[in-house]
Amino acid sequence: MTLLSVRGVTKRYGGLVAVNNVSFDVAAGELVGLIGPNGSGKTTLLNILSGLADPDAGEILLDGKPCQGLTPEKLAHRGMMRMFQLTRVFRRMNVIDNLLVAGRALGLKPGEALDRARSLISELRLDAVAALDAGQLSGGQMKLLEFGVCFMVPPRIALLDEPFAAVHPTMKEIMGGFIRSRHENGQTFLLVSHDMPVVVELCPRAICMNAGAVVIDAPTRAVLADARVIEAYLGGQAA
Amino acid sequence: MTTQSPPPSRASAQLSNTKTTVEFRVALAAMAIVALLPLGVGNAYWLGVLIVSMYFAILAGGWNLLAGYAGQFSLAPATFAMIGAYTTGLLNHYYGVPPLLGIVAAIVVSGLVGLLLGRAVLRLAGPYLALTTLSFAEIMRLVAANSIDITRGDLGLGVAGLLDSRVGWYYLFLGALTVLLVLFYLLLRSKAGLFLQAIRDDEVAARRAGVDVVFWKTAAFALSAAASGFAGALYAHFAELVTPELGLIAQTGLILSMVVIGGMGTLAGPIIAAFLVYVLSEWLRDVGGYQLVVFAALVVIFARFFREGLWGLAMAAVRRWRQA
Amino acid sequence: MSGIDVDLAVNGLITGLFYALMAIGLSLIFGILKIVNFAHGEFYMVGAYAYTLIALALGVPVWVALPLAFVVGAALGWLTERTLMRPLYAGYTSWGLMRDEYAVIVTFGLSLFLINLVDKVIGPYAYRGPPLVETSRIVLGPVLISGHRLLAAGIAIAVIAITAALIKWSFWGQQIRAVSQNRLGASLAGIDTAKASAIVFMLSGGLAAFAGALLSPVINASPDVGVFPAIKSYIIVVLGGMGSVPGAIIASLALGVIESFGAVYLSYQYRDAFGLILLMLFLLFRPQGLFGEKGREV
């Protein structure tokens, strides 16, 4: 069953075509990797999917209903949950309150929200710092907290932008385990990452973008072996 | 905070609200002390000083909701007091509307104007928001000062009184302040408190988490303005005079000082600081009168070194005392 | 164009020159730190007092007192940067106060501090500075102007031209512009960004104080005399595009002329409101100003 359908999405900034006629489908329960060199349009695509930018053309369907151009908060309620590359948490609120914001905003009752916050805190091993303000956490802990915020109410699809970048190996392990266990329980992901071993390990399927367009959309092994993908990365580095 | 996974209960549901609850209790205790003061202070002058302190406490509390909790640095709190004062003042002066009705009208009108301003500045932040609200404040004051045919300009508009007894006024203001304190407390310990602080810390992250940022920001503007308008209207009938001076930038400066000295984003700090600052400044007036210089210096020093103001310092002292 | 209109235009432009002296510094500070200095008017006030007191109380000739006022303003600007602006260079300040809030509170607090300090130390009464020349009125065709005002306008033009040239061509001017465009990039390129900020604050304080000194024979310095000129410079900086020096100069002249004509043809009472309304409209609908290209930060 198709959960997310991206159809001919295009976004221009002046003369630059940041996202060029991108189409793909994600089925419910899939964990799809989105790879590509810097500037290939991955983050712009995530911005469009999460409502932070409007596409110039194309259509996005979530559960068969169009959702392009909706505000981020509406999309959050529809179950499109974005995790940012540069961690965004509420720095002057404590860890529990950070989680409660998402829980209450997405319609949980107070008691229910607190139960979920507590179980997420122990799942993400943030117990020791639960009373601290988010701004006092380490970079990795903040990232884990952002995972928690995104999963207070399990989204229809989670859009993760480079979650493993510059994170301590232990934290990486916790995150990897978190993603894997949620995936086994049927959670759908779109994972943007530069970390090829992680993509190979986690994602059965990968999409590679270059210069705003989809180069290949296939099983991950096949994507990494593809000459166009190798050229995209080498070309990207040479440029 | 416990590290074992505890059986969640209703009691622990208030865990993250403990801070707000402690602040609320301390503020209530302070109100109780203020309620007893007239027994010792018979002097009409000092009762008047305390009444004006309460006027500023309401303004400080209202602006703290907007700036301290929601992070929206409006520089127009005094303007909304002026709008509230003129609403009831003009209604009373020209149409003979009784003060109590006028005060209700003032709350509604200033709340509506706050709502419109909030909608207008929705996409502005930081220095842009500060400048826009400052301009709004100056335009409103210029209009009030120059519409001489209607407002009598700087001469001021005579307004009917409401109570004959100064002690009566004292308890009326105290009642108003306490009601607002309770309202703010209930608001802040509900999900609204979470959402406002989330918007303050990171608007994009708040939207991502599903917070209706447009609604809550506008609501914060409207509520804060309504509280200021309420204070202004009460003050109009207390002073029996409304002038454009109520909306001077210097008044906003005083409100800002109280909030920063008391502790931004704390429920009790700004309200208690309003009393401290105003009473001290009246008291020290006889001894040299450097009080405003000292308070302004304190604003800068607190902003630079103790963001949580006197409240934060007091809490740190309590923690240290408990550990010892 | 009738004689009155020429008179209005010339006098408006002259007022605009004084506005420009104020606004350039505010714009530079916005450019380099992305903050509005709400104590800017107090630099102006301090300059007016410095000139007046140095000239009258110490009996120093006006031509020495004038540059000294600049020096006093520059020293105040330097002190402000040193003591209060440093935390802004780190994104989130260590105690968790965000930089926009901090900047508003601390500059607003500084403004209150300086106003009340002068009120206490020197007193609330207005001081009138000595004019540079005693000629009370000069008639140039339809234009009626006092000798001091004409001379002050000439000096203002020279100072504005020198400042603009320094920013465009001097070594530190180029450094300042680099930091304004990209603070991180400039620091990576080896530019001392803290020093650039200090220079901007000195220049900004000096120029505002100089404006106050030049106008002190007209304005009657009192502790809160800086409030209105500061508001004018906020308007100008928004109209000219926040951070743009040429924009600030053009917008200053434009505002001077608009107010001059508006006061006669629209409403004298509301002459101070025109600019404020423009400011609000610009921030709400065209935050990049007339000439700026940068979008607002949300």
- Distance in angstroms (rounded) separating the CA atoms of residues C171 and C174: 5
pLDDT band for position C290 (cuts 50, 70, 90): low
Q: H or E stretch including C223?
A: none
| Closest C-alpha to C251, from C239, C263, C234 | C239
Residues of chain C whose beta carbon is less than 8 angstroms from a beta carbon of chain A are 92, 96
Q: What is the pLDDT of residue C295?
A: 39
What residue spans of B240-290 are helical by DSSP H?
249-262, 269-283
- Check residues B60 and A201 and name the one with the higher pLDDT: B60
List A158's β-bridge partners, or say none. Answer: A81, A189
- Check residues A232 and B320 and name the one with the higher pLDDT: B320
Burial C223-247 (b: 16+ CB within 10 A, else e): bbbbbebbbbbbbbbbbbbbbbbeb
> Mind telling me how many Å the CA of C93 is from chain A's nearest CA?
11
| Predicted confidence (pLDDT) per residue in A92-129, tens digit | 899 999 999 999 999 999 999 999 999 999 988 998 89
| Nearest residue in chain A measured CA to CA from B209 | A102
B132 Cβ under 8 Å from any chain C Cβ: yes
All residues of chain B having their beta carbon less than 8 Å from the beta carbon of residue C287 are 124, 128
Residue with tokens 């069953």: A1
Share above pLDDT 70 across residues of chain A, in percent, rounded to a whole number: 98
Displacement of CA C21 from its chain's centroid (Å): 5
pLDDT band for position C270 (cuts 50, 70, 90): confident
| Of B13, B200, B202, Cβ closest to residue A114 | B13
Choice among A85-89, B12-16, B60-64, B179-183 with the minimum mean pLDDT: B12-16
Tell me, what CATH number does A80's domain have? 3.40.50.300
pLDDT band for position C291 (cuts 50, 70, 90): low
- Distance in angstroms (rounded) separating the CA atoms of residues B110 and B118: 12
Number of folded domains that form chain B: 1
Q: What is the pLDDT of residue B9?
A: 37
C39: pLDDT strictly greater than 60: yes
Residue with tokens 């989809």: A214
C3-285: which CATH architecture? Orthogonal Bundle (1.10)
Q: What is the pLDDT of residue A68?
A: 86
B-interface mutation test, from A47, A70, A80, A101, most B Cβ less than 10 A away:
A101
Confirm whether B38 is domain-assigned: yes
Q: What is the pLDDT of residue C148?
A: 84
C112 and B138 within 8 Å at the Cβ level: the answer is no
Confirm whether B224 is domain-assigned: yes
Q: What is the pLDDT of residue A239?
A: 41
Residue ranges of A 26-55 with Cβ closer than 8 A to chain B = 50-52
Confirm whether B1 is domain-assigned: no
B13 and A77 within 8 Å at the Cβ level: the answer is no
Give residue A13's domain range.
2-238
A91 and B201 within 8 Å at the Cβ level: the answer is yes
- Distance in angstroms (rounded) separating the CA atoms of residues A153 and A160: 16
pLDDT band for position C297 (cuts 50, 70, 90): very low
| Predicted confidence (pLDDT) per residue in A117-167, tens digit | 999 999 889 988 988 888 888 888 999 999 999 999 999 999 999 888 878
pLDDT band for position B250 (cuts 50, 70, 90): confident
All residues of chain C having their beta carbon less than 8 Å from the beta carbon of residue A135 are 92, 96
A104 Cβ under 8 Å from any chain B Cβ: yes
| Predicted confidence (pLDDT) per residue in C210-260, tens digit | 999 999 888 888 898 888 889 999 989 888 887 888 889 999 999 999 888
pLDDT band for position B16 (cuts 50, 70, 90): low
Choice among A193-197, B33-37, C53-57 with the minimum mean pLDDT: A193-197
Q: Are A49 and A70 a contacting pair, CB within 8 Å?
A: no
Q: Are B53 and B278 a contacting pair, CB within 8 Å?
A: yes
The alpha-carbon radius of gyration of chain B (Å, integer) is: 20
> Mind telling me how many Å the CA of B304 is from chain C's nearest CA?
7
Residues A76-97, mean pLDDT to the nearest whole number: 91
Most confident segment among B7-16, B27-36, B177-186: B177-186
C114: pLDDT strictly greater than 80: yes
Q: How far, CA to CA in Å, does B10 sit from each of A95, B13, B15, B86, C273?
A: 19, 5, 9, 46, 55
Q: What is the pLDDT of residue B162?
A: 83
Q: H or E stretch including B102?
A: helix B99-120
Q: Are C264 and C13 a contacting pair, CB within 8 Å?
A: no
User: Could you say which DSSP state residue A156 is in?
Assistant: S
Confirm whether B5 is domain-assigned: no
pLDDT band for position B3 (cuts 50, 70, 90): very low
Confirm whether B277 is domain-assigned: yes
All residues of chain C having their beta carbon less than 8 Å from the beta carbon of residue A133 are 96
- Distance in angstroms (rounded) separating the CA atoms of residues B261 and B252: 14
All residues of chain B having their beta carbon less than 8 Å from the beta carbon of residue C104 are 73, 75, 126-127, 130
B293 Cβ under 8 Å from any chain C Cβ: yes
pLDDT band for position B292 (cuts 50, 70, 90): confident
Number of folded domains that form chain A: 1
Q: What is the pLDDT of residue C292?
A: 58
Confirm whether B203 is domain-assigned: yes
Q: What is the pLDDT of residue B34?
A: 87
Q: What is the pLDDT of residue A236?
A: 52
How many residues are given for chain B? 324
- Distance in angstroms (rounded) separating the CA atoms of residues C22 and C244: 13
Confirm whether B6 is domain-assigned: no
Tell me, what CATH number does B210's domain have? 1.10.3470
- Distance in angstroms (rounded) separating the CA atoms of residues B274 and B198: 26
Choice among A180-184, B272-276, C20-24, C99-103 with the minimum mean pLDDT: C99-103
Q: Are B85 and B106 a contacting pair, CB within 8 Å?
A: yes
